[in-house]
């Protein structure tokens, strides 16, 4: 995997993190949104498994270590402002802690 941008090149929020929109690489379903700090970004690049920073637990969180529902990186993109990451992943099992494939199932307006 060739890395074209370092974490330093991304624009961070006031907590030093970047939001990550996670999408299924096969069908483009949006699975979840999470945050990365520099350690999570580098761990994701090194391992090929999505790693985030849990703001509620204040710790690094490799998706799937506890649940077995890993997310394997297929592609990473930065948006035009370099302040959001789009991660296209191979999702194993559910992405949501509720057991749903996607975190986005609460219909607000249709």
Which residues, in sequence order, are bridge partners of residue 69?
A: none
101 located within any domain: no
63 located within any domain: yes
97 located within any domain: no
Domain count, the chain: 1
Tell me, yes or no, if the pTM score tops 0.75.
yes
**DSSP label at 34?**
E
47 located within any domain: yes
Domain extent for 40: 16-91
CA 39 to chain centre: 13
CATH number for the domain spanning 54: value is 3.10.20.810
Number of CB atoms found within 10 A of residue 99's CB: 10
- One digit per residue, pLDDT tens: the chain, 110 residues? 689 999 999 999 999 999 999 999 999 999 999 999 999 999 999 999 999 999 999 999 999 999 999 999 999 999 999 999 999 999 999 999 999 999 999 999 99
102 located within any domain: no
What's the rounded Cα separation, in Å, for the pair 22 and 65? 17
6 located within any domain: no
């Amino acid at each position: 995997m060739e890395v074209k941008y370092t974490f330093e090149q991304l624009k961070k929020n006031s907590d030093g993190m970047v939001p990550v929109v996670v999408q299924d690489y096969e069908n483009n379903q949006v699975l979840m949104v999470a945050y990365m700090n520099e350690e999570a970004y580098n761990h994701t690049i090194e391992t090929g498994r999505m790693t985030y920073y849990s703001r509620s637990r204040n710790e690094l969180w490799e998706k799937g270590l506890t649940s077995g529902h890993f997310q394997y990186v297929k592609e990473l993109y930065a948006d035009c402002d370099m302040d959001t990451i789009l991660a296209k992943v191979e999702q194993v099992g559910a992405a949501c802690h509720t057991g749903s494939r996607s975190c986005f199932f609460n219909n607000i307006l249709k």
